């Protein structure tokens, strides 16, 4: 069975809570704040790996969980961060978040990784806060919660050549003749209900992968017949072999040809722009020659006549496929790079005038500015612990740490907001 779609759940770890602690030293009467930061929770990554060929192992909704970061300790001890979890998936897996079907990435190259659930940041311990009015704060941040998502994994067939055509035109038969694949063959429509793959070795020494796809009918792009599900599989084929039935099937091959091409075009993804080889099948049947003659006048393009029974035209077809593949690049499925999309959350806060700005003052020192942010700061009484907590939760909800991270801040960097200072925590 060929499984090409799976739903999994991923849960990244929560950040460890920051600690509240004080140094008590003999000759320092009050001591200073000394609560350490919590460690970052583990993230979850998907990685493309050639060691896996199908999504079979993900068949029963699987859950992947990363650990939480450790709590911060006393005496400024940092909590330990949790290890990230890396899940290997087959090359060619495309990842969507189930909710709203948001595209997360295309794992189309060996070793490529995408982060699908981000580990929560560790909370700041009280030693992080330095203000002139509240020198010994008794507050700490809790760790940021982890993310929980359901993901749809889709593996598209990585076939070079896709056989398309109406049901029963002989697609599976052709695949069985040119490769070791053994698809089901019968004279009723929709015999093939899942795609079959075969490796074709051409006599010139080259080889390619051919996919036998379920038959298409008019309206396939709207889901008719086996429809959409299978148009999806053609997306990655670099070359289309369009099979037309020359037997006395009662159908008009020219009509078939036009209908299928219309379906491909309507589906999008520039399918209609892929090179296409037109094949006239079942040439051993009576009357096939006449029908081919007529078809050639109608289509006015090269048509390769073949018969799976006499093997007429098979070599010619395979040579033609191999030659065209050499000059046909892989088609990009999505225009956007996933790097652009991954951290998109950070940039959704933009108003006409940003609430805050972040500037690098010098190495490891950052300044938060912006009129609105400064106004908020001035109106918050951080000489009380409650006030300071309010300020920190504002900083968190604005995702200022994420912006700092994107700008290259490092763990322990100093962040200045007017006369208040705190540490950046990774
Ligand atoms: N005479 C003759 N019959 C053929 C040839 N190729 C296929 N057939 C017959 O055509 C019928 C349909 O063949 P399949 O290969 O199952 O057709 P298909 O295009 O895969 O059909 P679906 O899977 O339903 O889309 C079968 O009865 C085959 O034996 C051929 O070259 N010559
Ligand atoms: Mg078939």
Give the model confidence (pLDDT) of 77-86 as tens digits.
Answer: 899 999 999 9
Which alpha helices (H) appear in 300-361, and where do they start and end? 314-326, 338-342
- Give the global pTM: 0.55
Using the mean position of ligand 1's atoms as its centre, give its distance from the Cα of residue 237 in Å: 22
| Cα–Cα nearest to 377, from 360, 394, 396 | 394
What pLDDT shows up at residue 25? 67
What pLDDT shows up at residue 335? 42
* Residue whose CA is at the smallest distance from ligand 1 atom 11: 187
336 in a structural domain? no
Phi, psi of 28 (to 5 degrees): -105, 105
Query: What average pLDDT does the chain have?
Result: 85
Mean pLDDT of 10-34: 82
237 in a structural domain? yes
Q: Band of the pLDDT at 229, cuts 50, 70, 90?
A: low
What pLDDT shows up at residue 157? 54
The reply to whether 178 and 321 lie within a common domain is yes
**CA 160/CA 234 separation, integer angstroms:** 9
Beta strand 148-155 pairing with 85-90: unpaired
Give the model confidence (pLDDT) of 169-187 as tens digits.
Answer: 999 999 999 987 888 888 8
What pLDDT shows up at residue 38? 94
| pLDDT of 269 over the 80 cut | no
Q: Look up the CATH number of the domain holding residue 133.
A: 2.70.210.12
The reply to whether 286 and 413 lie within a common domain is no
- Ligand with smallest separation from the Cα of 281: 1
| pLDDT of 53 over the 70 cut | no
The reply to whether 80 and 15 lie within a common domain is yes
Using the mean position of ligand 1's atoms as its centre, give its distance from the Cα of residue 4 in Å: 25
Mean pLDDT of 111-122: 95
Distances (CA, A) of 259 to 127, 164, 264, 345: 71, 12, 9, 43
Q: Look up the CATH number of the domain holding residue 361.
A: 3.30.300.350
The reply to whether 278 and 388 lie within a common domain is no
- Ligand with smallest separation from the Cα of 196: 2
422 in a structural domain? yes
175 in a structural domain? yes
340 in a structural domain? no
What pLDDT shows up at residue 336? 40
More confident residue, 90 or 368: 368
Q: Ligand 1 within 6 A of 192 CB?
A: yes
What is the distance, to the nearest Å, from the Cα of residue 229 to the centroid of all Cα atoms in its chain?
Answer: 18
Using the mean position of ligand 1's atoms as its centre, give its distance from the Cα of residue 155 in Å: 27
The reply to whether 353 and 239 lie within a common domain is no
Sheet hosting strand 196-201, strand order edge to edge: 196-201, 207-212, 161-164, 239-245, 276-281, 303-305
Using the mean position of ligand 1's atoms as its centre, give its distance from the Cα of residue 137 in Å: 79
169-173, 188-192, 292-296: least confident range: 188-192
Using the mean position of ligand 1's atoms as its centre, give its distance from the Cα of residue 233 in Å: 21
The reply to whether 203 and 307 lie within a common domain is yes
| pLDDT of 339 over the 50 cut | no
Q: Ligand 1 pocket check: which of 164, 166, 168 to mutate, most ligand atoms within 8 Å of Cβ?
A: 168
What pLDDT shows up at residue 188? 81
- Tokens at residue 294, please? 């007529």
Whether residue 117 contacts residue 149, with contact meaning beta carbons closer than 8 Å, is answered with yes
The reply to whether 143 and 174 lie within a common domain is no
- Ligand with smallest separation from the Cα of 189: 1
Using the mean position of ligand 1's atoms as its centre, give its distance from the Cα of residue 168 in Å: 5
- Ligand with smallest separation from the Cα of 216: 1
Q: Ligand 1 within 6 A of 187 CB?
A: yes
- Tokens at residue 91, please? 């090359």
The reply to whether 59 and 101 lie within a common domain is yes
The reply to whether 281 and 304 lie within a common domain is yes
Consecutive H or E run containing 402: helix 400-407
Q: Ligand 1 within 6 A of 171 CB?
A: yes
Whether residue 183 contacts residue 175, with contact meaning beta carbons closer than 8 Å, is answered with yes
Domain residues for the domain of 9 are: 1-155
Which atom number of ligand 1 is nearest to the Cα of residue 215? 25
**CA 57/CA 51 separation, integer angstroms:** 13
Q: Ligand 1 within 6 A of 193 CB?
A: no
| Cα–Cα nearest to 226, from 217, 235, 238 | 217
Mean pLDDT of 203-231: 76
Mean pLDDT of 17-34: 77
Q: Look up the CATH number of the domain holding residue 206.
A: 3.40.50.300
The reply to whether 403 and 423 lie within a common domain is yes
* Torsion of the alpha carbons at 193, 198, 203 and 204, rounded to the nearest 10: 110
**CA 408/CA 360 separation, integer angstroms:** 10
More confident residue, 136 or 177: 177
- Tokens at residue 236, please? 């990655």
* Residue whose CA is at the smallest distance from ligand 1 atom 27: 187
The reply to whether 102 and 181 lie within a common domain is no
The reply to whether 136 and 78 lie within a common domain is yes
For the chain, the domain total comes to 3
């Amino acid at each position: 069975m060929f499984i090409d779609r799976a739903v999994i759940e991923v849960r990244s770890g929560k950040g460890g809570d920051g600690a509240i602690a004080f140094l008590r030293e003999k000759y320092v009467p009050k001591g200073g704040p000394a609560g350490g930061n919590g460690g970052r929770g583990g993230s979850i990554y998907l990685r493309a790996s050639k060691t896996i060929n199908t999504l079979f192992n993900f068949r029963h909704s699987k859950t992947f969980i990363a650990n939480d970061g450790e709590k911060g300790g006393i005496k400024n001890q940092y909590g330990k961060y949790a290890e990230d979890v890396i899940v290997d998936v087959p090359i060619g897996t495309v990842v969507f978040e189930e909710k709203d079907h948001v595209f997360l990435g295309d794992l189309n190259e060996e070793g490529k990784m995408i982060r699908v659930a981000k580990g929560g940041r560790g909370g700041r311990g009280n030693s992080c806060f330095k203000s002139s009015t509240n020198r010994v704060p008794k507050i700490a941040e809790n760790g940021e919660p982890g993310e929980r998502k359901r993901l749809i994994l889709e593996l598209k067939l990585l076939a070079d050549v896709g056989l398309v055509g109406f049901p029963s035109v002989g697609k599976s038969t052709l695949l069985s003749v040119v490769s070791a694949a053994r698809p089901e063959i019968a004279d009723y429509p929709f015999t093939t209900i899942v795609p079959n793959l075969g490796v074709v070795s051409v006599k010139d020494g080259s080889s390619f992968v051919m996919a036998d796809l379920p038959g298409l009918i008019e309206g396939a792009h709207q889901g008719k017949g086996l429809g959409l599900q299978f148009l999806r599989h053609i997306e990655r084929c670099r070359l289309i072999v369009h099979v037309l039935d020359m037997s006395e099937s009662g159908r008009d091959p020219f009509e078939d040809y036009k209908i299928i091409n219309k379906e491909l075009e309507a589906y999008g993804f520039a399918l209609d722009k892929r090179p296409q080889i037109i094949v006239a099948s079942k040439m051993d049947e009576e009357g096939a020659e006449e029908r081919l003659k007529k078809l050639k006048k109608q289509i006015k393009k090269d048509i390769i006549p073949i018969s799976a029974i006499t093997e007429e035209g098979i070599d010619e077809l395979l040579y033609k496929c191999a030659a065209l593949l050499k000059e046909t690049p892989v088609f990009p499925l999505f225009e956007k790079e996933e790097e652009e999309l991954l951290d998109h959350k950070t940039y959704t806060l933009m108003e006409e005038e940003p609430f805050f700005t972040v500037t690098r003052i010098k190495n490891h020192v950052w300044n938060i500015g912006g009129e609105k942010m400064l106004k908020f700061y001035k109106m918050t009484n951080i000489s009380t612990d409650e006030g300071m907590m309010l300020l920190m939760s504002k900083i968190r909800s604005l995702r200022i740490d994420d912006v700092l991270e994107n700008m290259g801040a490092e763990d322990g960097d100093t962040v200045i907001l007017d006369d208040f200072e705190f540490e950046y925590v990774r």
